[in-house]
Structures are given as C-alpha cells and as structure tokens.
Amino acid sequence: MNFIETRGNNGIKPKEVSFSHAILNPSASFGGLYVPKYLPELEENFIENHLNCSYKQLAYDILKAFEIDIDDKEIHKALDLYDNFDDKDNPCPVVKVKDDLFVHEQYHGPTRAFKDMALQPFGSILSSLAKQRNEKYLILAATSGDTGPAALNTFKNKENIKIACMYPDGGTSDVQRLQMVCEDGNNQKIIGIKGNFDDAQTALKNLLASDSFKEELEKDGIKLSAANSVNFGRIIFQIIYHFWSYIQLIKQNEITYSEKIYLSVPSGNFGNVLGAFYAKKMGLPIEKMLVASNENNILTEWINTGIYDIREKKLILTKSPAMDILKSSNIERIMFSLFGSARTKELFEELNENNIFELTEEETKLLQEEFSAINSDDKYGTKTIKSYLDNGYLMDPHTATCIKAYENLKEKDLKTVIYSTAEWTKFSPTVLNALNENEKKYSDKEALEEISSKYNANLPHSIASLFNSKINHNIVIEKDKIEEEIIKFIKE
C-alpha cells in the first residue's frame, strides 16, 4: 500500500510513497502529513476469526492488511516487545467498571503510559530500517509528558539512531520528568524548554520542514525523522488496540457480533481518536467516538461548532497535562479523510496565517456524524477519581475526563469503552488530592507511597526507583535555542 499527502503534492516530493518512506520521512508537501491511499477492507469474519488469537497475532494481521513493506521477521521482532508488558497475552486489558462501562487500560508497558503501545514496536521497526539501509537518523520527539519517556525507552542505545526529546519545563509531572532526565543512553538528548507543549511541537514541525536544518544534519551523514504522532508509524499501531477492545467485550459476553459500542478517549493531539476513526472505517462496529477534553477545550469547540479558533487562547496548565494542547496535529488526517487534500490545505493555511479556520455547515455535520465532544475541569476530575475509587477503581486524571463524556454524550443505550492512557503513578499528587479531598501540595514520592500503602495500589519498581536515579540531563533553554542545541548534540 502506498501513502499520500494530506495537503496535496508540491511537485518535488513523490506523489506516492511506501510505508517505510513515510515513517523515515514524515514531513509531507506544504507541511502536511502522510496518510494511507486507502484503508484496507478486512475480511467479513475478521473479528470472529480473531476471538482466540493473541494481541500479537491480531496486530500482525492488521499490519499485513496494510501491506506495509516491512519484512515479516522485523514485524515479529517488533511485536515481540509486547512480551515485556505486565501480561504478554493481554498487554492492554479491558476491565469492567459498571454494567455498561469498561476501561481499556493502556498503561501496562515499560513507561506506564499508552504511548508504549505504539512506540515500542514502531521504534523497533524504524531502528531496523536504519540499520538495514546503513543510514543514520536523528529522531525528534516533542512531549507533554508521556511520548518522551516512551520514545527514549524504545530508541535507547539503538544502532544508527540518535534521539532528541523536547519537553516543557514545569509542564510535566515529576515522574514524567524523571523518566526523561535520568535516562543514561549513549544516543539521547533531553531538552527542557521555557515554553509549553505547543511550543515544543511547533519546533519539531519546523525542524522537520527546515531545509537548512536537514542540510546541517547531512554534513554529518544524518537523516531526520520523528517519534510524535505526526509519524504514521505511530498511528498504524494505534488502530490495533481498538479492535482488541471490541474482541475483549465479545469474549467477556458483554456484546454480540456486530453490536455497536461507544469509545470515549481523552484527547490532546488526537492520535488515539484517529486510530479509532480508522478502525471504524475498516469495519469495527463503533457507534461514535466521544472526545473528552480538559479546560483547553479547543477540540470540543471545533467538533461542536466547526470553528478552530486559537486567536485569543492561552494554554491552561491543568491536572491532566497530556491534554494541555491547542494545536492538535491529527485533526489534519481527519479533515483529509472527510474533505480531501485541497480543502485541508486551504484550512491549514488559514490556521497558520490567522490562527483560525471555520468549516462549512455541511462539513461540520460530517464531523459530528463521527464525533461528539465535551470538556471538563480539574474539579470534576478530582471528584470523579474519588467517587470511582470509593467503588473500587483507581484512575488517573486523564481517564477521569472520559467519564464526563460517558455520562453526557451517549445518545443510545450501548456499552462504552473508555481509554485509560496513563497509570495513576504518573500523576500521584493529583490523585492523592482527589482521594484526600484536599489541595495540599504533595511531592510525587510521598503521594506514591501513601496511595500504594493506604489503598493497596501496585507501585511498579520502574516508578519507585526513579527517585534514587541519577539526573543526567538538566539543560533548560529558551525555545529559540532548540535548533542550536540539537546541532551541538549531533556533533558530539
């Protein structure tokens, strides 16, 4: 299968590229993104035929349906990394919380966040491609807290790879920051920036599109790629686990074949929801995607009004920081699918020039046929964490936003799967504030210890050991110094 560009072709880049080209060179014409030329049609009995298969087999069969140009040996090597999750047979379990509500726990990998689900196999494949081609790559990652640790973990000490990760100083939890700055790989650079996630992501996109930056890298024989979900290598693995959710509900005798369900996803950069959108287009019986946002409610406004307006918006730092985003990259792939490349290019040019675009009434209707959206605030989140633990389920603040979507957006009496994208350990001070119903300022260490002892919650060694780890990366710079710092890194 070939890949094409969301904003059309500029006459310089190839009109169609392979999967391997798209993941090694994620920047498309006019600053756009790569998408599949078409989505594969799965066999009629695909779900039924995978009821008793492993997650790795399900993943393999979906990847093969995309006809990706990756050797089977490398695909299996990448998928074998799921053996390092808590349960190799069920790396992302689906847990019943209420009669019609289920939590898909996506945080059982090495860095305790859902980014491991895609970045573990993606990093393996990209690294293998670089080695096979005897090419050297600089991988860029911008993070609001979870992409960074997952990307650094998967690319650590890989041959032919260097990775530079940018995070907003003060914009992550202590655990997330420690997961990055304590890394000791010989090919890693972690950079704190004085700014927010949007600043980090904008810097990443600008560097991916910068000819002068690429020319500087080429002097050292280095090519450029990215670990963020602008790279379709991330997205393809985010399609798979939505099929797993559905299969688990059938196996638990909660739904029957072809019965539709709701999916509720906490959303920032929109990659997780995009995976669900693609899964639905490939035949998964999804009634609708319920999009949950926090006080940075740009996605809620866009879906409910058709207007994407960041002119007067200032990023609000919330207790669910992975969703503290105003410029959401993957809405571009949604708009391409719904409206085509010419319209997508037009809308994003408007956004880049004026910080606003507006869909037509008909376009907004098409968007709303696929998605409903709502946003919540920190107060709602803490109350939700407390009430659900009182009934036996411990969740993080991002998962809590999904509950509001579940409670308010369902139009039919159907089962709902919400996506828990991070373990409580990544945001323990917020969770402890919720459980103790106070606003006391806890350190991550004391919050982790109190929750694990008082509520008998599992505290993974990988998290507990962070506080005794050596900090190896302590640089914090102005955002206009990012390129200079990265060039210095590649010449070390």
List of long-range contacts for 13-19, beta carbons under 8 Å, 24+ apart: 18/69, 19/66, 19/68, 19/69, 19/70, 19/232, 19/233, 19/236
pLDDT at 492 over 90: no
Q: Mind listing the pLDDT tens digit for each residue in 5-56?
A: 999 999 999 999 999 999 999 999 999 999 999 999 899 899 999 999 999 9
Task: Give residue 440's pLDDT.
Answer: 96
Strand positions, DSSP E, 159-272:
161-168, 188-194, 222-226, 261-266
What average pLDDT does the segment 124-135 reach? Answer: 96
Task: Give residue 244's pLDDT.
Answer: 98
Beta-carbon count within 10 A of 83 CB: 11
Domains of the chain: 82-112+233-466 (3.40.50.1100)
pTM of the model: 0.95
Q: Mind listing the pLDDT tens digit for each residue in 349-371?
A: 999 999 999 999 999 999 999 99
Task: Give residue 196's pLDDT.
Answer: 92
Q: Mind listing the pLDDT tens digit for each residue in 78-95?
A: 999 999 999 999 999 999
Task: Give residue 427's pLDDT.
Answer: 96
Q: Of all residues in the chain, what percent carry a pLDDT higher than 70?
A: 100
CA dihedral sign of residues 189, 154, 93, 99: positive
Cα radius of gyration rounded to whole Å, the chain: 21
Task: Give residue 420's pLDDT.
Answer: 98
Mean pLDDT of the chain: 96
Q: Mind listing the pLDDT tens digit for each residue in 272-287?
A: 999 999 999 999 999 9
The CA-CA-CA angle for residues 240, 31, 194, to 5°, reads 85
Name the nearest CA neighbour of 173 among 414, 431, 416: 431
Q: Mind listing the pLDDT tens digit for each residue in 179-235?
A: 999 999 999 999 999 999 999 999 999 999 999 999 999 999 999 999 999 999 999
pLDDT at 268 over 90: no
Q: Phi-psi bin for 167: left (phi > 0), alpha (psi -120 to 50), beta?
A: beta
DSSP β-bridge partners for residue 409? none
Both tokens of 146, joined, read: 């979870």
